Every structure is written in structure tokens, then in C-alpha cells.
Structure 1
Amino acid sequence: MANTCFALIFISTLFLIGSCSDDNSSDSLVNDQYLLIPDHHFEQILIDQGLDTDGTVNGQMLREDAEQVQRLDLNLNSHFGEIEDLTGIEGFTNITFLSAVGQNLEDIDLSSNTKLDTLYLQNNYLTTIDLSKNTDLITVNVLVNKLTTISGLEQARQLKELNLSYNYFEDFSITNASIEHLLMSDNLLTSFDSTGAPHLKSILLTTNQLTMVDLSSNPSLETMVISNNALQNISLEENPNLMYFYASSNGLTALDVSQNTELVDLRVDRNPDLSCIKIHSGQEIPTVSISEYQEFNENCQ
């Protein structure tokens, strides 16, 4: 009887050891050969596009498959609003393009995707994003999210276009010598600082809560759209290349565009306390939008 009990205990011990060994082997396999893809919708899209070559929704894909991908567009198959978790994206180390538009993402870690140059994450639920490891970025579009902060932009030395419109920023400052186009309409901005972005060509700040902006460090500016704010004054003397200036529905009391000889479109209607807009002698602006109580004059008192 004692021998029988000993045998049973011995066999049970071997079984437990074998089970633990199998589990460890499986974990090792996932880490070394396979990526964990817990979001079934994410994996199904990868399968549909022929990227996950085992063709089965099983929560994993070969790392080798992921490393072959250079362009990852998760919207090609109309699976909008399905992905909640992009765990596994860290294995796509060679992608230069990522689009995950109209999904249900609340966070994303792109620290392993160091070759990205184009990023589209519009219409998600992101509250913050860190791009400090994505130094090759040229285009970033995170329109319509819940962002209050974005970090790492100063590292993106090739950045040209940044779209942060329809988010929840209250203040924003950017230091990036390469950026040319910045869109931040429909936020909650009370403070905006572009002094660290000397090569900006266009700025969109429509529908915020700004009372002032300093454009003296943006000599390349061609388009400035700041309608529907609480702007009280603005100087355009350091913006000789300005072609489009929209500042309708603000609180301007004075405006001098006499130094902006390249202006082709000026819209400053619905500024109740702005009656005189200063121009220089002979200056013509092809397209204007002003209120009936406003006039152009060489001498504004």
C-alpha cells in the first residue's frame, strides 16, 4: 500500500513538473517567436490583410510576420470602431506608416515603432500620447480625440504637419524648427506659444478661448486663422509673407495690416470694437470680409 501511494505521489509530481515546463515553454514561445495580440478585432484585420500568416484568431502572430510590414493601415477593411487594444504593435518595428482611424483606442505605445514617418489616429479616445521615440515623423494627425497633452514633438526633427484639432488642450507650446503646418481648432486654448517654431507657414486656431497670440517669431507665416476667439489685439508686423488672415468673431479694437503687402484674403468682420483697419497707401487686398461699421484707412486713430 505504501509503495502504491509513493508511486501515485511520484507520478503526480512528474505531471505538475511537466505542466509547469509546458507553460514556461509557451511563455517563452510567445516572447521569442510570437507577439501577443489580445484584441481579436486587431488580429482579424491582420489576417484579412494577409499579415498574420497562420490565418487563425488565436491571440498571437509570428514576430517574423510583423517585422515584414512597412505600411500598416487598419482601416482598409471597414472595421471602424472595433479595435480597443493595439498591444502587439510593438512588434511592427519596421512600419513607416500607421493608420488606426475611428477605433476605440484610449492609449497607445509607439516607443518601438521608431521608423514611423506618418501617423493617423483620428477619431479615437486618446488622452495623451508620447512621440519621443518617433524621431522620423513627418505627418501626425490626431484630430478628434480627448488629448490634453502630447510629448516628444521636439524630437521629431522632420515634422511638417501636426493636426491636434477637436481635442481638449488648454495651453500649448511647441519647440520644433521643422514644423510648417499646425492645426489646433476647436480646443480649449487660453494660451498658445509658437515662438519655438520659426518656420511655421500656417496656423489654425479657430474656436478657442485665446485673448492674445505672439507671432513675432514666425516670419514665414502665410496663413493665420484665428476666428471665433476672444482676441483683443494682435501684431502682424513681423509677418511680411502673410497672405490669408482670418480673425472674424473676436474682440479686436485695432488692426494694422499696412506691412502685410502680400495679403490676398482678409476676414475681420464681427469684431464690434474694430472700426478702422490700417492699410498703406495704394494697398489692395483682393478678397475682404468686413462688417458695415468697418473701413480701411491709412490713418486710424
Structure 2
Amino acid sequence: MKKQLFIYTILLLTVPLLYLGCEKDDDPLQFSFTVTITPVTGGTVNPSSGIYNDGKEILINAIPAEGYGFIKWSGDATGDANPLVLTISSNTRIIAEFAMMDSDGDGVGDTLDQCPNTPEGEMVDTSGCALSEVDSDGDGITDDLDLCPDTPANEEVDEEGCADSQKDTDGDSVTDDLDLCADTPPDTEVDEDGCADFERDTDGDGLTDDLDRCPESPAGFAIDAFGCPVGSLYTYIPDDAFEQILINQGYDYVLDDYVLTNAINAITELSLPSISGFTDNYIISNFTGIEAFTALEQLSIWNGDFMGDALDLSQNINLIELSIRCSFVDDLDLSQTNIEVLSIGGNLFFGPCENGMENLDLSGVTTLKILNIFHGKFDDLNTTLNSATSLEQVHFTSPQTDSGPLDYLDLSSNSNLTSVSVSSGFTTGPSIINLKNGANQQLVELILENNPWLPIPPGEISWEPCIEADDPVYIESIITSFYSVPQYTVTTDCGN
């Protein structure tokens, strides 16, 4: 009996323990579930985390934020199914990948893209727009075709997006909206209206301003070949410096571009400016009106700066002596004149001054007998001399080139010479003087001067010229000087 009671007691104590042990083994395993979102602003996931029993099947939704789209799952999940059915069997970490929506693939998301249909491959701005989609100035021409992207509002444009106010068709620096002469040739000087002299007829007399010596003639008057009223009492002088000099000399009174013709048509000698006014620095660039000085015999020009066509002396038929000092002149044409004496260069009284003579052709001046060059600078003096075959007397004082004193003086084409004078002047004279003109016996004198204008002892500046001659013995016999003869050599060949 006691044995049975013991067994019952053991059973009563053991059975609950067995029950408790079995109950603990029946609890399911649990695992963590977490979600990472990339980018963090791309959207949300539901559920985003939790603890789930082993074998639990959960439904996961990826919810894109505005402007984003869901792309795929990664981490412990794959694919792009949305929602995603996932069975939990371990600690699980998945990644939800979102991307900004960019319908046209231009790199700017649709929510920011103001041009959502940009053609493939075109570069865009921060608004997602390519130049082919933008018209910055609102002129109807997209920026990719618009050569003038800043056209003012309401201006009519051409197919390149440019208004007349933005174009300069002829390249004269006057825009087409202001240009009255839109086809001016390149490199032509124009006025504020974009017109060159040959395109403009200021007084409407039928003669363009480049040919009109009186471009402001009153209407209704008959004009002569120069565009001036027939029988005019006045001569048109548009250069203020020219007219001011005439005022200074008492031939005019008011600076108004006109001078009484009767006040100037009897003048025989004219200096522009006069010697007394040399330091006034009047720079003349246009000599229109000089034709009215019909009695003029001697003309001196100081401080000029002009192209040759600005000085037309063809009407000054009595002019026999012309002097151009301290001036810059290009393409001077004297072929229609009767000039006998031509002097070019600096100012011997006040010292040398800046001057230059380019492209001087004297072949048409058949009356020219005397040529004086005083420190004159030429681009090619020898070519000028070769063209002046009528010369009888020449005087050179330190002739210059662009690079310095002239080294070779060529008189071989001047067969009418009777007198030649060469001086070293303020610098030095030519190293070689070519007198092989085939007519040495016509020469009466060859004057060689060593620094006659410098107040220093002779020989301070060395000048030892070599003279080439057809007849060296004869040439040496006529060499003379008023001051100091330099050391020289006379030969048939100086080896130049």
C-alpha cells in the first residue's frame, strides 16, 4: 500500500513538470524585420519594421513620394514586385530603392522639369529645358537658332532672331535700324547715319558728297561740275583748321565753312598756317576750297595730315611752287599741275619735325624743275626720284626713311640734272650717291655739306659718302661746299 502511495506521489510531482516542459517547446521562433529606404526622400514602406514569428508571411507595400517611382527591392529581397509577399524565416533586412521620375531622361526630375519632352541627347538647364525648347527673349525664335537672344520686347526679328537694332549688315558700326546706307563696302568711314560720302548727297543736288565741293549748296541753284552754285559768292571750306587760318590772316571773319570767293581768288602766295602761326598747331586734313584760289602761285602747307585726294590742285593752274612741311601725306597727285618747285620735309628754322610722304609719284609733273628735301621722310624716295625725270636741280638735307637716314640715293634716272646738293643735316647723309645718269657733263655743281645746320665743330658726325659716276674725274672737279666738305670717294662702282 505504501509502495502504491509512493508511486502516486511521484506521478503527481512529475506530470506538471512534464507539462511545463512541453509547453515551453511549443512557442514559435521570432525574427526581426527592417527596411531601409534609398534615397530617404524617395518614399515610404509599410510595414517598415517589426518582429515576426518564423514562417510569418507579410505583405510589404512600397509607396513612392511625389515625383519618385519605385524601382526594386534589394538586400534580403529581390525583384520589383510591389506589393511584395515575404515569408519571414530569419532576421530580415530589405532595401526599397526609389528613383526620381525623369520621363525624358534629361537628368531633371519631372516635378522640376519645365520641359518634360526634351529630345534625347540635348543638354538642358536646371529647369530641364534645352535651347531648342527655350525662347528667352520671346521673339518667336528658340535659343538654339537665335543669334540675338536679348532682343528687346515687341521688335520684329528675322529668321535668326535678330532685330534691326541688333544687326549691322555692312559692318560699319551703325546698326541697321539707324543705318540709312545698309550696303556700305567694308572698311569705309561713315557718318552717324551709316553713310559714306559717296552714298550721301547732303544738299540733294545730284552730286554725292565725295565729289561735291559744296555739299550744303542752297536748293534751287544751278551747280557747276564741283557741286557749287554757279557764280557763287562764297567758297565752301569745311575744314575748320583751314578756315581758321584764313580768319587769322584776315581773309575771313566767321568760322562757318564759307569764305567770300572775292577775298581769296586774287591771292598769289598762301601759307597754311603762316610762319608766324606755325606753333598754333592747326592740323589740316581737307583742302576743299583751295580751287577757288585761282591766282595762287606759291602754296606752303604746314602741319598737314591728309590723304592725297584731299588736296586737289588741278584748278590752280598758276601754281608753280609748292612746299609741304611737317606734314603726313599719302598718295599725293600732282599730275594735273604746272608746279616747277616742290619742297618737302621738316622745318629748318625751328629744328626737325615729324613728317612723312608715301606713294609720291611725280611722273605726270612734266614741269617740275626743282626738288628740295629737308629732313623729309619717304617710304621710297628713290622710286619718287625715278619718276621725276624732268628735274634739273635737287637739294637733299638728311633724307629719311621709316627706319632712319637714307643710305642709298639714286639719281641715275635724272638725266636733266644741272645741280645736285646733298647735306648730312641733323643726322647723316646717304652712304652712296648714284650719279650714273648718262649725262654727267650737264652737271654744273655737286655740293656736299657736312652738318651745315649744327652749331658744333665739323666732323662731330662722320659722313663719308661714296659717289658713283659715269665720269668720276669730271664729277670730282665740280664738288664744292659752302661750309665743310666731308671726306668722299668718287668712283664708277661703290660696290652697292
TM normalised by structure 2 equals 0.40
Residue in structure 2 matched with residue 78 of structure 1 by the alignment: 277
Structure 1 distance, partners of 2:329, 2:271, is: 18
CA separation of 1:175/1:121 partners in 2, compared to 1, >3 Å: closer, same or farther? closer
SS at match of 2:277: coil
Unaligned runs of 5+ in 2: 1-202, 206-216, 347-354, 451-461, 492-496
What is the aligned counterpart of 2:376 among 166, 179, 194? 166
Aligned: 1:222 with 2:445? yes
Pairwise CA distance, 1:114: 1.9
CA separation of 1:169/1:225 partners in 2, compared to 1, >3 Å: closer, same or farther? farther
Residue in structure 2 matched with residue 292 of structure 1 by the alignment: none
Aligned pairs (5 A) from 1:162-241: 162-163=372-373, 165-170=375-380, 171-172=382-383, 173-177=386-390, 179-183=392-396, 185-188=398-401, 189=406, 190=408, 192-204=410-422, 206=424, 207=428, 211=432, 213-215=434-436, 216-219=438-441, 220-225=443-448, 234-235=468-469, 236-239=472-475, 241=477
User: How many correspondences in the alignment?
Assistant: 234
Residue in structure 2 matched with residue 142 of structure 1 by the alignment: 344
Q: Cα deviation per residue 1:204-260 (whole Å; 9 max; x = unaligned)?
A: 2744665562345233142244987896673423426513279xxxxxxxxxxxxxx
The one-letter code sitting in structure 1 at the alignment partner of 2:417 is H
CA contact (8 A) 1:180 1:201 kept: yes
Residue in structure 1 matched with residue 487 of structure 2 by the alignment: 268
What is the aligned counterpart of 1:25 among 212, 216, 220? 220
Structure 1 runs, 4 residues or longer, greater than 6 Å off: 19-22, 226-233
Structure 2 distance, partners of 1:226, 1:154, is: 31
What is the aligned counterpart of 2:362 among 146, 152, 172? 152
Q: Cα deviation per residue 1:133-177 (whole Å; 9 max; x = unaligned)?
A: 222x33221114311332235634362343264212433315444
Residue in structure 2 matched with residue 119 of structure 1 by the alignment: 322
Aligned: 1:88 with 2:289? yes
SS at match of 1:182: strand
- CA RMSD of superposed structures (Å): 3.9
Aligned pairs (5 A) from 1:89-108: 89-107=290-308, 108=311
CA contact (8 A) 2:369 2:391 kept: yes
Structure 1 distance, partners of 2:291, 2:439, is: 38
Residue in structure 1 matched with residue 20 of structure 2 by the alignment: none
Structure 2 distance, partners of 1:27, 1:191, is: 52
Structure 2 distance, partners of 1:161, 1:195, is: 14
CA separation of 1:82/1:265 partners in 2, compared to 1, >3 Å: closer, same or farther? closer
Pairwise CA distance, 1:110: 1.7
Q: Cα deviation per residue 1:54-110 (whole Å; 9 max; x = unaligned)?
A: x22111123333322222223335164213222211221220011222344454222
Structure 2 distance, partners of 1:75, 1:240, is: 42
Pairwise CA distance, 1:41: 2.4
CA contact (8 A) 2:330 2:358 kept: yes
CA separation of 1:63/1:213 partners in 2, compared to 1, >3 Å: closer, same or farther? same
Structure 1 distance, partners of 2:291, 2:419, is: 34
Structure 2 distance, partners of 1:100, 1:167, is: 16
Q: Work out which structure has the larger RCO, using CA pairs closer than 8 Å and 6 or more positions apart in sequence.
A: 1
Structure 2 distance, partners of 1:109, 1:128, is: 11
The one-letter code sitting in structure 2 at the alignment partner of 1:138 is E
Q: Which moved more, 1:182-191 or 1:21-30?
A: 21-30
SS at match of 1:142: strand
Structure 1 distance, partners of 2:375, 2:413, is: 20
Aligned: 1:243 with 2:444? no
Structure 1 distance, partners of 2:204, 2:390, is: 55
Aligned: 1:35 with 2:245? no
Work out which of the two has the higher radius of gyration on C-alpha atoms and give 1 or 2.
Answer: 2
SS at match of 2:329: coil
Residue in structure 1 matched with residue 312 of structure 2 by the alignment: 109
TM normalised by structure 1 equals 0.62
SS at match of 2:241: helix
CA contact (8 A) 1:217 1:238 kept: no
Structure 2 distance, partners of 1:164, 1:27, is: 45
CA separation of 1:96/1:153 partners in 2, compared to 1, >3 Å: closer, same or farther? farther
